[in-house]
Structure 1
Amino acid sequence: MARKAAIIGGGVIGGGWAARFLLNGWDVGVFDPDPEAERKIAAVLANARLALPALSDVPMPAEGKLTFHGTIGEAVDGAEYVQESVSERIELKHKVYAQLQQANPGVLIGSSTSGFKASDLQKGSPAPENIIVAHPFNPVYLLPLSEVSGSPKNTPATVEKTVQIMKDIGMFPLVIRHEIDAFIGNRFLEAVWREALWMLKDGIATTEEIDDAIRMGFGLRWGQMGLFETYRIAGGEAGMRHFMAQFGPALKWPWTKLMDVPEFNDELVDLVASQSDAQSGMYGIRELERIRDQNLVGFLRSLKERNWGAGKVLREHDERRRAAFHAGTLDGTPLKMAEMQVLPGWIDYNGHMTESRYLFCASEVCDAFLRLIGADMDYVAGGHSYYTAETHIRHLDEAKLGERITGTLQVVKADEKRIHTFITLAVGDRPVATVEQMMLHVDMKAGKACPAAPEVLVLLNPIATAHAGLPVPEGTGRAVGQKKG
């Protein structure tokens, strides 16, 4: 039975939470009095379906069931967790919590608040220990950070339960040591925002120039190493102590205006809005979201390949889901190993996926299978690997820009030294290519075939046994140019 989360407030953040839970297999009940809530969440979910699966190297779980409800009580019925994302009005949040705790006593409530402390949110509650901050960053369905902040009234068990739920949906829960207004991320962003507004107001730079300074320079460093690790490198071989000695005196220089704020008036709003329109007004909001998501997917996948920063979170989430996935692989059907989308860089002049990308997709399927049976990079580092001895690809149909490709793998035959696989790449129910492979297990130092390690065979053999009863796939053993029939 699927786990259920309730989402109270279906705006940009609430919609992102709904997508994050749904695509990780949870059922989701939504309450939002906005008559446009279903349309808005559908738009967020459409973007999430395009982006989030591209970060995973393990097949996504079956998508949960999304339901919309007319009351808070209906939405929270049967839910083990609630994510509150209503407007930043404390009296509204208190009203929502009262209704939630009356309808589902004991339910854990996480708030997306950007600034209220947990102790502020808990005031007047009969069960304050069940209300906690779980503050995300947009887009919630891609960015892993969730700042978890409790008060002394939250028990360690409540904090740990919140942390575990965040991990279960692939997020990185950062527990705040002490209550603080705006937590860690927003405190940092507020300082940058103040400086940006002053530079804009003083005519030093435009919105685009300020953004360029971030995205062309230090923003790229922050995205992978943060602040302190970046500055450690800046200190050279002598490290952080040298950096502090070199640049510490600058802290006393009048560089910033962090304690001063430009007057918030119509003139400032017009200045920011007009320059922002000139910078980005040629794009619609959904188009900007898709551009943002595609860039983030590329960046996050690069970090994932190196097991660094946010990429490490993605890898760990894959490993947890891979363990659960393996338990369901012995049902005697081909293994669903990968889901991919045909991207703009994958197509030829005719608008069809180019030949190299069919092989790339098959490689993704094969790599996912090898990781599933434990023949992963750590295994390779130990001196053993599977080498592809033969490959035969058949192009059966066309895959076009934007289409989603599912890759399944059937073990035709396997022994201690060989794996014979048949991969099918399909768009929906339509096969677009098959790739037959023969792989040999190799001692890399000796340069010759050898039996696979027992820990690999113990995972491989049950799959091979389950697949032995399947019909041999049509097309197996075909030679190039061989007539059909």
Structure 2
Amino acid sequence: MALNRAACIGGGVIGAGWIARLLLAGVDVDVFDPAPDAQRIVAEVLANAQRAAGKLLDAPLPAPGQLRFADTLEQAVAGAELIQESVPERLDLKRAVLQAIDAHAAPDAIIGSSTSGLLPSDLQQGMRHPERLVVAHPYNPVYLLPLVEIVGGHQTSTQTIRRASSLYTALGMKPVTINREIEAFVGDRLLEALWREALWLVKDDIASVTEIDDVIRYSFGLRWAQMGLFQTYRIAGGEAGMRHFLGQFGPALKWPWTKLMDVPEMDEALIDKIAAQSDEQAGGRSIRDLERIRDDNLVAIIRALAQQQGGAGWGAGAALRDQEQMLRDAAADATAAPLQLTSGSVPAEWIDYNGHMTEHRYLQVFGETSDALLTHLGLDADYFASGRSFYTVETHIMHLGEAHEGDGYETRTRILSADDKRLHVFHQISNPATGSVLASAEQMLLHVDTTAQKATPVDADLGNRIAALAREHAVLPGAAAVGRYVGQRP
């Protein structure tokens, strides 16, 4: 479901994250937040989001939406299709704000509350149109983490739940609809249990905040990032699966391992202790520094997950692949033009001893571009599972410019020729800021039966799609780099 205009009421940490995700999805956003530093916070978070998106997405982004700060709530919500409320967690404040939104929003607008724990049925009280309110609870940073918990109240309509899920999906998110409203929903219930236990471990001098974080981030945190809790435990049960795991470890739930239901008093001594240890853990890094480190780590994890399952992605990586395909489809142009298939920015690990992008990374980008072309042509996981694929059998790369850390890049592709077994393509990597061509690659791909390990004709539907695109590209002007051989003089 396409979304053109949204409003965000509240521009703090969560509100600014929503604003960034919406803008980068090409949605115009009107913001209302009377706080004097709201515009500064939004600008800083947006800058981080733009930086992270350039590293995360291998697809052409739409033109960013327009950002406007409104003088009043009424001005902000007028004409918005989606209104995201992200004001502080006070029931009286949220009710007053939601009632004001309800009174001035368009009749068919969806209203989403970012509350992390308040019941939607309580939030609906006093609204004239409570059926259009949902809790849409995201996770920080909103512009990177795809999950949003969708929770309806007693008066929320089924149609609202469906529409909200479609809108958030169009923003590249993974909506999970919670069947019944409970305080703190699902994610924060799980986090609260871990948080309570961690507080006791610090209180009792069993571990410091750094040691506890290390236990999480070097072990089960990585497992949770790609498989969650129950599937992780299923694997722990071995070949016998979850039933064996529950039979073996279920009795441990009765053992006195946890103080889960007994919360330490948050007195000044414990608060000071945790705060001091947290300051030491930060090592002088500012919040913005830590955000950028966090974002870089999340980008690396999500992009790594996107490479799994034959490139179809796993977990958050699958959501990224779906988002990239939506972006490619939206950017497709019916007129004859090279396809823009991938884009990004050069990370530090791609830089060699000469201070610019090392040569094998160009081949990596060209390989990812060929993969994106195949996806564009309709080769998906089911096609590859059927025992058919394209193999690259020849590549010629010309290095024409230098790319440095942080430089943006994008690739464009054209089909030079094709028959029932061969696909001859030409790629270019360019710097979108300067327009300069950094490298080109001419490749021959061969369609194969992966079981028989021999060339085989493509099926009729795929052949027709390839032929149609080849005809479009045949009218493009020639490229000087096509047909060159190593050592050929200009």
1:257-316 per-residue CA deviation (whole Å, 9 max, x = no partner) reads: 222222222222211110001111332222211211121122222322223322233333
Q: Give, in angstroms, the shift of residue 39 of structure 1.
A: 2.3
Residue 407 (structure 1) aligned to one of 411, 414, 427: 411
Q: Whole-Å Cα distance in 1 between the matches of residues 147 and 460 of structure 2?
A: 38
Structure 1 equivalent of residue 198 of structure 2: 196
More displaced 10-residue stretch of structure 1: 280-289 or 202-211: 280-289
Structure 2 equivalent of residue 299 of structure 1: 301
More displaced 10-residue stretch of structure 1: 349-358 or 432-441: 432-441
Structure 1 equivalent of residue 99 of structure 2: 98
Q: 1:343 to 1:131 in 2, by over 3 A?
A: same
Q: Whole-Å Cα distance in 1 between the matches of residues 304 and 320 of structure 2?
A: 11
Structure 2 equivalent of residue 26 of structure 1: 27
Q: Mapping of 1:290-329 within 5 angstroms?
A: 290-306=292-308, 307-325=313-331, 328-329=332-333
Aligned-residue RMSD, C-alpha: 2.0
Structure 2 equivalent of residue 371 of structure 1: 375
SS at match of 2:63: coil
| Count, aligned residues | 482
Which one-letter code corresponds to 2:42 in the other structure? I
Structure 1 equivalent of residue 214 of structure 2: 212
Structure 1 equivalent of residue 460 of structure 2: 454
Q: Give, in angstroms, the shift of residue 451 of structure 1.
A: 3.0
Structure 2 equivalent of residue 37 of structure 1: 38
Q: Whole-Å Cα distance in 2 between the matches of residues 43 and 419 of structure 1?
A: 45
Q: Whole-Å Cα distance in 1 between the matches of residues 41 and 461 of structure 2?
A: 48
Which one-letter code corresponds to 2:404 in the other structure? K
SS at match of 2:409: strand
1:169-195 per-residue CA deviation (whole Å, 9 max, x = no partner) reads: 111111111110000111111111111
More displaced 10-residue stretch of structure 1: 231-240 or 159-168: 231-240
Q: Give, in angstroms, the shift of residue 217 of structure 1.
A: 1.9
Which one-letter code corresponds to 2:322 in the other structure? E
Contact 1:374/1:455 (8 A) holds in 2: no
Q: Give, in angstroms, the shift of residue 90 of structure 1.
A: 1.8
Q: Are 1:136 and 2:138 matched, yes or no?
A: yes
Q: Mapping of 1:263-302 within 5 angstroms?
A: 263-302=265-304
Structure 2 equivalent of residue 442 of structure 1: 448
Q: Whole-Å Cα distance in 2 between the matches of residues 446 and 254 of structure 1?
A: 58
Which one-letter code corresponds to 2:61 in the other structure? M
Contact 2:81/2:106 (8 A) holds in 1: no
Q: Whole-Å Cα distance in 1 between the matches of residues 162 and 278 of structure 2?
A: 41
Structure 1 equivalent of residue 436 of structure 2: 430
1:111-159 per-residue CA deviation (whole Å, 9 max, x = no partner) reads: 1101111011111111111111000111111111111111120111011
Q: Give, in angstroms, the shift of residue 206 of structure 1.
A: 0.4
Which one-letter code corresponds to 2:352 in the other structure? D
Contact 2:378/2:462 (8 A) holds in 1: yes
Q: 1:241 to 1:390 in 2, by over 3 A?
A: closer
Q: Whole-Å Cα distance in 2 between the matches of residues 253 and 443 of structure 1?
A: 56
Structure 1 equivalent of residue 76 of structure 2: 75
More displaced 10-residue stretch of structure 1: 78-87 or 19-28: 19-28
Which one-letter code corresponds to 2:459 in the other structure? A
TM-score w.r.t. structure 1 length?
0.94
Q: Are 1:361 and 2:365 matched, yes or no?
A: yes
Q: Are 1:340 and 2:341 matched, yes or no?
A: no
Contact 2:226/2:316 (8 A) holds in 1: yes
SS at match of 1:190: helix
TM-score w.r.t. structure 2 length?
0.93
More displaced 10-residue stretch of structure 1: 467-476 or 335-344: 467-476
More displaced 10-residue stretch of structure 1: 6-15 or 295-304: 295-304
Q: Are 1:480 and 2:489 matched, yes or no?
A: no
Q: Give, in angstroms, the shift of residue 238 of structure 1.
A: 2.7
Q: Whole-Å Cα distance in 1 between the matches of residues 424 and 242 of structure 2?
A: 53
Q: Mapping of 1:57-68 within 5 angstroms?
A: 57-68=58-69
Unaligned runs of at least 5 residues, structure 1: none
Residue 476 (structure 2) aligned to one of 470, 474, 480: 470
Which one-letter code corresponds to 2:276 in the other structure? S
Q: Whole-Å Cα distance in 2 between the matches of residues 133 and 54 of structure 1?
A: 30
SS at match of 2:261: coil
Structure 1 equivalent of residue 5 of structure 2: 4
SS at match of 2:159: helix
Q: Give, in angstroms, the shift of residue 320 of structure 1.
A: 4.3
Q: Whole-Å Cα distance in 2 between the matches of residues 478 and 359 of structure 1?
A: 17
Q: 1:153 to 1:283 in 2, by over 3 A?
A: same
Structure 2 equivalent of residue 149 of structure 1: 151
Q: Whole-Å Cα distance in 1 between the matches of residues 457 and 240 of structure 2?
A: 48
SS at match of 2:100: helix
Q: Whole-Å Cα distance in 2 between the matches of residues 218 and 447 of structure 1?
A: 40
Q: Give, in angstroms, the shift of residue 252 of structure 1.
A: 2.1
Q: Give, in angstroms, the shift of residue 447 of structure 1.
A: 4.4
Q: Whole-Å Cα distance in 2 between the matches of residues 105 and 154 of structure 1?
A: 17
Structure 2 equivalent of residue 181 of structure 1: 183
Q: Give, in angstroms, the shift of residue 22 of structure 1.
A: 1.8
1:333-361 per-residue CA deviation (whole Å, 9 max, x = no partner) reads: 11110012111110011210001111111
Q: Whole-Å Cα distance in 2 between the matches of residues 21 and 482 of structure 1?
A: 49
Which one-letter code corresponds to 1:87 in the other structure? P
Q: Whole-Å Cα distance in 1 between the matches of residues 404 and 215 of structure 2?
A: 37
Q: Whole-Å Cα distance in 2 between the matches of residues 233 and 445 of structure 1?
A: 30
1:7-36 per-residue CA deviation (whole Å, 9 max, x = no partner) reads: 111111111111212222222221112232
Structure 2 equivalent of residue 127 of structure 1: 129
Q: Give, in angstroms, the shift of residue 322 of structure 1.
A: 4.5
Q: Whole-Å Cα distance in 1 between the matches of residues 12 and 289 of structure 2?
A: 18
Structure 1 equivalent of residue 161 of structure 2: 159
Q: Give, in angstroms, the shift of residue 205 of structure 1.
A: 0.8
Q: Whole-Å Cα distance in 2 between the matches of residues 391 and 154 of structure 1?
A: 57
Q: 1:34 to 1:456 in 2, by over 3 A?
A: same
Which one-letter code corresponds to 1:190 in the other structure? E
SS at match of 2:249: helix
Q: Give, in angstroms, the shift of residue 87 of structure 1.
A: 1.0
Give the fraction of aligned pairs with identical amino acids, expressed as a percent: 52
